[in-house]
Structure 1
Amino acid sequence: MTFAAKDVMASASTILQDAGTVRWTPPELLGYLNEGVREIVAVKPNAASQTVNMTLAAGCKQTLAAGQTVLSRAVRNVVSGKPIRVLDRREILDNMIPGWMNTANLAFALDVTYVIHDMTDPRTFYVAPGALVTSSIEIVVGVMPADVAQGSNPIDTATYTGTVGLPDLYRNCLVDFTLYKAFSKDAGIPGAAQRAVAHKGLFDAALVSIGNGENAMSLASFAKGG
């Protein structure tokens, strides 16, 4: 399910008791919302993902396209359909096939057998055997959603119909982040700073909860052999 910017903004305005969007204008709330999306993706790179076919560069080292934030999974070779095994440590190949990055030691090929990916450099990975210029693999990547644009009438929240580039699961998180930023604006007013901290805490806790849920589902699937 998808949701629009106006859904988050209207909820925030109601809680702020600013239904007329006088103290916190729609463009300001939208800015907080877009900032919240970037924060979510920074903490959980898989929050926004796509499955794409990637044409590989010749050789072993590969870099994701602009706008792609992290390699989440390597699935298969596009032409043959052969599945790909992901390794998180290159030492495995270093021990098995010393000098595997050199085509003289392991001939480059159309099909990739292994992908080596280290999260210390999330946008870079290596393939073995090294790829040919015609090699293509199916991968799942994290992406950075585009900012939601202003509505057709900047002072009317109802016109902010642009879709937020995250699953509906993150809608309440964005409400809390928007409220955190809004109350931070009035940090000098009694109680505002505490409310800002409270909403930031709810935002952080929700992301942890979502992550724990995903991990539990992944473990259950693994236990069933899925």
Structure 2
Amino acid sequence: PGNAIKQIDRKILDAMIPGWASATASATVEYYVYDTRMPTQFMVYPPQPSSGFGYVQMKYAAAPAEIAIGAVILIPDIYRDVLMDYMLFRAYSMDSDVPASANKAVAYYQAFQAALGVRTEVEEKEAPDVN
């Protein structure tokens, strides 16, 4: 890997380097432009060579595939407790015959939300559109 690639706002790049999208290609990327309206795409400057030999190392996350009932769920260990809180919330929510179930469901849901909220804040700091 080479130097860190810096994020730049498209308006700033347009002002600094008019016509940047058609500039001379280089395998070494200096800047990237990310638009939250197109979360699966980003643009780079200078443009990549048509040979496709450019290289960018990045983190990527995607929605998981659907799983069948009884299937093994493969998730990182850090999410095990969060998933367990959600499953217990769902189980206690369905158990309306037992008076204490509603309170337990609320408690597990709050624990789930709190844990997920912490994860979201951390993940937001890693988002590509955060300067």
TM-score, length of structure 1 as denominator length: 0.45
- Return 5+ residue gaps in structure 1 as ranges: 1-80, 152-159, 219-226
Match runs of 1:124-203 below 5 Å: 124-132=41-49, 133-147=52-66, 162=72, 164-166=74-76, 168-187=77-96, 190-203=99-112
Letter in 1 for 2:95: D
1:116–1:125 contact (8 Å) kept in structure 2:
yes
2:8–2:31 contact (8 Å) kept in structure 1:
no
Counterpart residue number, 2:17: 97
How many angstroms does 1:127 deviate by?
0.7
1:113–1:127 contact (8 Å) kept in structure 2:
yes
- From the two aligned structures, give the one with the greater strand fraction: 1
How many angstroms does 1:198 deviate by?
1.9
User: Which runs of structure 1 show a deviation greater than 4 angstroms over 4 or more consecutive aligned residues?
Assistant: 146-151
Letter in 1 for 2:75: G
Counterpart residue number, 2:129: none
Letter in 1 for 2:6: V
Equivalent-residue separation in structure 1 for 2:109 and 2:8 (angstroms): 33
1:86–1:117 contact (8 Å) kept in structure 2:
no
Q: Percent identity?
A: 31
TM-score, length of structure 2 as denominator length: 0.72
Q: Does 1:109 align with 2:26?
A: yes
How many angstroms does 1:203 deviate by?
0.4
Equivalent-residue separation in structure 2 for 1:176 and 1:201 (angstroms): 9
1:148–1:164 contact (8 Å) kept in structure 2:
no
Distance change >3 Å, CA 88–CA 172, structure 1 → 2: farther
Letter in 2 for 1:140: K
Aligned length: 122
Counterpart residue number, 1:154: none
SS of the aligned residue for 2:29 comes to coil
- Return 5+ residue gaps in structure 2 as ranges: 127-131
Equivalent-residue separation in structure 2 for 1:210 and 1:110 (angstroms): 34
RMSD value, Cα: 2.8
Equivalent-residue separation in structure 1 for 2:19 and 2:35 (angstroms): 19
SS of the aligned residue for 1:116 comes to strand
Distance change >3 Å, CA 193–CA 128, structure 1 → 2: same
1:84–1:115 contact (8 Å) kept in structure 2:
no
